[in-house]
Structure 1
Amino acid sequence: MGDMEDDVRRWLRRAGTEDPDARRWLLHVDEARHSWGVLPPCPDPGDDTWRVLWSAGLLGHEQFRPSWDNQQDGAISVAVSGNLAVTGGDSGVLRVWDLRTARLLREIRIGYERLNAVAIAGTLALVSDHVWRVLAWDVTGAGGPRALDGHKVGEARALAVVGAGSRSLALAACGSDLRVRDVRTGKALHGVLFRGHAGRINAVATIGLRGRAMAVTCGDDGTVQMCDPRTGERHGDPLTGHDGPVLGVATARLGGRPVAVSCGQDGTLRIWDLLTGEQYGRTVAVRAASVATAVLDGRPVAVTGGARTRVWDLRTGRERGRPLGEAGAGVAASGHTAVTCGSDGVARLWDLRTRRSTPLVAASRVGAVALGDFGGWPVVVHAYEEARWLSVADLGDGGRHGHEGGRWTRDPAGGDERRSRGQRRDYDIPGRIDALATATVGGRCVLLVASGGDGLVRRWDLESGERDGEPLAVHTGVVHAIATAGPIAVIGGEDGVVGIWDLRTGSSRALPTPAAVNAIAVTGRTVLTGGAGEVTHLWDLRTGEPRGSLPTGQVHAIAAEGDRVLVGGAGLTLWNLRGDRLPGDRRGDRLTRSPRDDRLPGLRGRPGPSGGRSGGRSGGRSASAVSLGGHPDGVTAVAVRGHRAVSSGWDRTLRTWDLRTGEQTGPPAHFPWPVSALAWHPGGRLVAGFSWEVVVLDETGRRSYGETSVPYGRAH
């Protein structure tokens, strides 16, 4: 038990919690992984809704993992304010860190593309997403980021926040423009737009000058410039001296005087006196792509990121000690600490006094799980986002099925009713696995896999391992979601296209939507698709005709059964497509008309508790909705079975809901990382994927499967 508890303590330290409930849950998970076969019920499940039956993954096998497990969504942008840092990932996740403990405080998915620019001032974070919006997020409050002004501002390469009296202003460097938005209202300042650069702006910093907050910018035209963000007027002449584009700029006070520090493509670091416009001190020769300023032993220093992270004394222009050991593609600093985004995608926290670093560790994820039929027996298929293999395991006892030499393999022990644990085998998947599903075609279970970002969905016969026809090709980019209903597959991706395929005949139809599709659900003849847009669309599964829309906001996960639809995004919402009054809905039955959606007929809504609509149109009928709450930082996955539903969020909990009452049942189950994928078997078992781990759960009080598996679809 000692080794197991050591593993769990390590998980808890990484997850940043020592909560007794979390400790107890993780002990069950670890015990399940180290056991052989099905576990007996937890000795004292208490009030828990779920018990762990078996667990399999790589969390307990360090030798099979990368050195640090945040490389799948590597940090590419960083900003620091006081004891907080925010990092933007190359797969659309925004994270908040406590620099005193190197602990991950919160994370939220903004999209599925690179977050090239972030900023933070106090607890206000700014981020630029892949659809050219600037979003603001109070990192201590509930909910997610909100778009400023709701309009595209262009690709923002740099962001900053500046105080202007009682207002906070967001500064976004978009091309050669510095655009200004009021953070509270989200509106652009009338007539304020700085266009002083002849080329692209690469970085923006702020500083107080004679009692006024000023913005300092640098660009491809080789200049450093200063402007008043409230008026858009340039202050003083451009600062020239670099021979080529200026890549980074930061500000500091040197002997009480405001200065700017710039690094250029010409391999120099320069210091500028912002009162006189003259260069201060000597030019420093260094190849750097970014620069930040800090204070070390009471002296202002510059931290440059490039081939190596280096520290420079601003007074003397000399390097302080040897280069720090990691490359810093992006760098931010505050006090005596700095945060770098290495070329390997790993963010590191540096103590500039001791010159020691601490990796800021986030989690890789099980990218997808699906349930299938392997020779009449239920199996779990799961894939890791970062790896290139699939794993197939018996739902009942965790017996593993690998794939080798073009065929799936299994190792029966005592006949087909009992299989021992095999070994996971690599399976040649072209690139990272993005989406996964199973379908039933002519009595066979077909596996559908989207990988490599090429827009193709490849299919295999699950039991034989043979390719099953040609790849499904509708999309032009990454496929994010696949849902199936018998032999029909519905596929959505980054290009906003929804493809409906009949796997028996190979026929398909493409349905365009205005935004990336992140989640799909099928219930009866209705298909629901949601994603980066503000609306979830409803379609007829057979004809492809639109059936209405729901004003859900951005969606990360959808699950549906009958007329009930559970939607997860910044919050968790339960919809009834027939418009029946839902439990907990006390807002009344009256609907007020809202502007018509030009893409789909009949969108209606009424104000919800936070200002959003809580009604919509579905097939000519009004739908109703109620917010369930539960996950303050956003929802990552949902699943529905009958009147029961489960949801998981960035808060690392799994919550269970009774859809008849709208109430949460039992305490939440705690996980060391956010649960990224859920699948619920009709027989009652729940599969949850998190980080490098997959666990199979069963509701407490249910009769056990026993020592053998149960054939697919059989009630028990």
Structure 2
Amino acid sequence: MWTWDPLRDVWQERPLTFACAGDPLAARYPDAENDVDSVAAVVSGGRVILAAGGDEQGFAFWDLESGELIRGAGFDDPYLAAITEVRGEGPPLFVTATQYADEILVWRPSAEDVLTELSNDIGRIACLTATYAHGLSLAAAGGMDEGVAVWDLTAGGEVRSFDTDEKGVPAVSLARLAGDPIVVAGVEDEIHVWGLSDEHGDDLIRDPLTGHEDAVVALDTAVIGDRVLAVSGGEDATVRLWDLSTGRQLGDPLIGHDGSVETVQTAVLDGRHVVLSAGRDSKINIWDLQTFVR
């Protein structure tokens, strides 16, 4: 594992104990190493706890600084399809989706056992996101084959699910608009926005946001002042900003990748709202969001 300090442009290698080191079969595979495709991190007990897994490794988590294995995986554990942390001021939690068993599990970052298992009606999971706001912990998932589902992590039940007409959903994010929780999803080359309150029903709260010339595969949201923004990354190699109140794109597409934009992440660096984007071209770009919000 590597970490990057974007303000100083410093990379640091973080060796991690092999996730399956405690498995009795580990002695048969002395050269086995971690197989990591998905990661998430929280701060718990004064430590940064890193959770990870992949196409050929089950869920495990470590102390990032020391590399100590806190919860190991077994060779027979279900492989990991997606993982996220609960963002916000709530209790630090991880949410995971297994690759083939279609299980969605909630974990504390200091315990071996599952905290909650969530029922899943959308099948194989392509992506996960979770947030804590206004006393409510929510998780949302996009289906690999179709559908979006949202759960209340405190109650452990499904809040809403939405049909996407047999279209896969590779990107999903949660936000609040006018005080109400919403879910934002990439559906082919469009961005769909649903409200989670009963008054909205199953219908989109506005027409799909259009502009990408290929599939939307990365999404995040941010609040700057009184404006709620969505940031999208697409297979058309662009990053785009959207005002969710108006449904309009802000400015021109952000051009800086030579291939599909695989992930976008909003953050605050040195007091400024930014978005980091990473693509198949092995580049990480940082964009200043505040230049688009005046």
> Which TM-score band applies after superposition, normalised by the shorter structure?
0.7 to 0.9
Within 5 Å, give how 1:128-167 maps onto structure 2.
Answer: 128-129=97-98, 130-144=100-114, 146-149=116-119, 153-163=122-132, 167=136
Match of 1:106 in 2: 70
TM-score of the two chains, using structure 2 as the length reference: 0.72
Match of 1:283 in 2: 253
Q: 2:209 aligns with which of 232, 235, 239?
A: 239
Equivalent position SS for 1:234: coil
Superposition deviation, residue 146 in structure 1: 4.3
1:225 aligns with 2:189: no
Task: Supply the distance in 2 between the matched residues of 1:141 and 1:178 (Cα, whole angstroms).
Answer: 29
- Residue-by-residue CA offset, 1:349-391 (whole Å, 9 max, x unaligned): xxxxxxxxxxxxxxxxxxxxxxxxxxxxxxxxxxxxxxxxxxx
1:74 aligns with 2:35: yes
Change beyond 3 A, Cα 1:297–1:266: same
Q: 1:91 aligns with which of 56, 61, 65?
A: 56
Superposition deviation, residue 203 in structure 1: 1.1
Task: Supply the distance in 1 between the matched residues of 2:96 and 2:70 (Cα, whole angstroms).
Answer: 15
Q: 2:81 aligns with which of 89, 109, 116?
A: 116
Equivalent position SS for 1:75: coil
Match of 2:24 in 1: none
Within 5 Å, give how 1:78-477 maps onto structure 2.
Answer: 78-81=39-42, 83-98=48-63, 101=65, 103-104=67-68, 106-109=70-73, 112-121=77-86, 122-129=91-98, 130-144=100-114, 146-149=116-119, 153-163=122-132, 167-174=136-143, 175-189=145-159, 192-196=160-164, 199-220=167-188, 222-231=189-198, 232-285=202-255, 286=257, 287=259, 288-306=261-279, 307-315=281-289
Task: Supply the distance in 2 between the matched residues of 1:89 and 1:309 (Cα, whole angstroms).
Answer: 22
Superposition deviation, residue 182 in structure 1: 3.4
Change beyond 3 A, Cα 1:148–1:57: closer
Superposition deviation, residue 181 in structure 1: 3.0
- The answer to whether the 8 A contact 2:266-2:276 is kept is yes
Task: Supply the distance in 2 between the matched residues of 1:278 and 1:182 (Cα, whole angstroms).
Answer: 29
Superposition deviation, residue 185 in structure 1: 4.4
Match of 1:708 in 2: none
Higher CA-based Rg:
1
Change beyond 3 A, Cα 1:171–1:140: same
- The answer to whether the 8 A contact 1:248-1:290 is kept is yes
Between the two proteins, the alignment pairs up a number of residues equal to 251
The letter of the residue matching 1:180 is V
Superposition deviation, residue 198 in structure 1: 6.5
Change beyond 3 A, Cα 1:227–1:81: farther
Task: Supply the distance in 2 between the matched residues of 1:159 and 1:57 (Cα, whole angstroms).
Answer: 34
- The answer to whether the 8 A contact 2:71-2:112 is kept is no
Greater RCO, CA 8 A, separation 6+: 1
Superposition deviation, residue 224 in structure 1: 1.3
Superposition deviation, residue 244 in structure 1: 1.6
Q: What residue ranges of structure 2 are gaps of 5+ in the alignment? A: 1-14, 18-26
- The answer to whether the 8 A contact 1:281-1:315 is kept is no
Superposition deviation, residue 240 in structure 1: 0.5
TM-score of the two chains, using structure 1 as the length reference: 0.32
- Percent same amino acid among aligned pairs? 27
Equivalent position SS for 2:79: coil
- Residue-by-residue CA offset, 1:418-471 (whole Å, 9 max, x unaligned): xxxxxxxxxxxxxxxxxxxxxxxxxxxxxxxxxxxxxxxxxxxxxxxxxxxxxx
The letter of the residue matching 2:137 is S
Q: What residue ranges of structure 1 are gaps of 5+ in the alignment? A: 1-12, 16-55, 60-64, 319-716
Task: Supply the distance in 2 between the matched residues of 1:255 and 1:182 (Cα, whole angstroms).
Answer: 27
